[in-house]
Structure 1
């Protein structure tokens, strides 16, 4: 049975836990962009709190397909995100090994959000040694059909009760905080555990 998931920006750990469990997966490209989701945001841990970082998009309130949604560059979000990443993880054990790749991906300044997300996904899969085959959907699959496993929007920042069924968080050493912050962006896992990240998943 085919498994379909949404595209995410520096996806959370549960997302990669799901991908690692599958031989093949389909990324939804024909759905309408949905705000307040991981499609254009990620969560990292800085010295003060769990910090949300969102990529601004053009026409986010309109019905625009994920394949067509464009990134808005009039805001200085690129510099803000990069500053946040380096501030949060510069002193972590392994961030320096990934820093150059992450910088190059971000400052390539892709036009479409999907292209940015796919480049991030490709980098993360290599870093995590996950060889799941990734496909892009060409038509929208209705939820009324039963021939696929619909995981779209189940890994959601406001639906902990759903993603926790996919990934049971196990604490690892984080740079900040007294309590473990679960299911952050995979950047947190890579920066803190490096080559052990794939074993963690």
Structure 2
């Protein structure tokens, strides 16, 4: 299957990816503003918060591989502060902080590199061994192999499967399909089995 190159992907993304023996990231995909390319959703004390990566101005129909990060603002520090506010008291924050924090303290130039690194970290923390391959794919030539996730309809998923609920830091109602970060900070090494639907919590 061919996946988009997203920033700390949503749980539905990870659920599909973990079921694939082989997967590819599409570096030839058209960049979409306000999509999972530059956004990840986490649960704060009062609402769902957005981790956002600013990018430089780009021409219409720019490809994800050509998008440059705008480092004129300290976006990494701002996002990390949001993560701390949301998860500092979560069960696995201290376990995973040393792996995740460096991504927000380093200055990346290319969005593709940042997003690939965020996926690499998630797979490592879930103890999933997969090789991340990437290539330019044409939607018209490979449309049956593409799988898409819509950030504007975050609580929907790609194949209409129910989401397994798990304890979250805030609120009494479960918020589904957040960034995989939410699940990792709350359930640690059980995250892989929860994503795959192998256990109930």
Give me the TM-score of the superposition, normalised by structure 1. 0.90
Of residues 31, 36, 39, the one that matches 1:38 is 36
Query: Do the aligned partners of 2:28 and 2:63 also contact (CA within 8 Å) in 1?
Result: yes
Partner Cα distance (1:193, 1:103) in 2: 18
Partner of 1:22: 20
Partner Cα distance (1:176, 1:32) in 2: 35
Of residues 176, 182, 190, the one that matches 1:182 is 176
Of residues 58, 62, 65, the one that matches 1:64 is 62
Of residues 136, 140, 143, the one that matches 2:137 is 140
Query: How big is the alpha-carbon RMSD for the aligned residues of Structure 1 and Structure 2?
Result: 1.8
> CA offsets per residue over residues 87-142 of structure 1, 9 Å max, x none?
100000001111121111221211001101111111111111222332101x3323
Partner Cα distance (1:63, 1:12) in 2: 24
Of residues 7, 10, 13, the one that matches 1:12 is 10
Q: 1:39 to 1:166 in 2, by over 3 A?
A: farther
Runs of 4+ in 1 over 6 A off after TM superposition: none
- Structure 1: 5+ residue stretches without partners: none
Partner Cα distance (1:166, 1:133) in 2: 27
1:77 counterpart = 2:71: no
> CA offsets per residue over residues 44-88 of structure 1, 9 Å max, x none?
001010111211101246332211101001123211101000110
What SS does structure 1 have at the residue aligned with 2:132?
strand
Give me the TM-score of the superposition, normalised by structure 2. 0.90
Partner Cα distance (1:61, 1:134) in 2: 28
Partner Cα distance (2:88, 2:142) in 1: 46
Residues matched between the structures, number: 195
Q: 1:23 to 1:106 in 2, by over 3 A?
A: same
**Bigger CA drift: 22-31 or 163-172?**
163-172
1:194 counterpart = 2:188: yes
Q: Which has the higher helix share?
A: 2
* Structure 1 residue 8 displacement after superposition: 0.6
Partner Cα distance (2:92, 2:117) in 1: 20
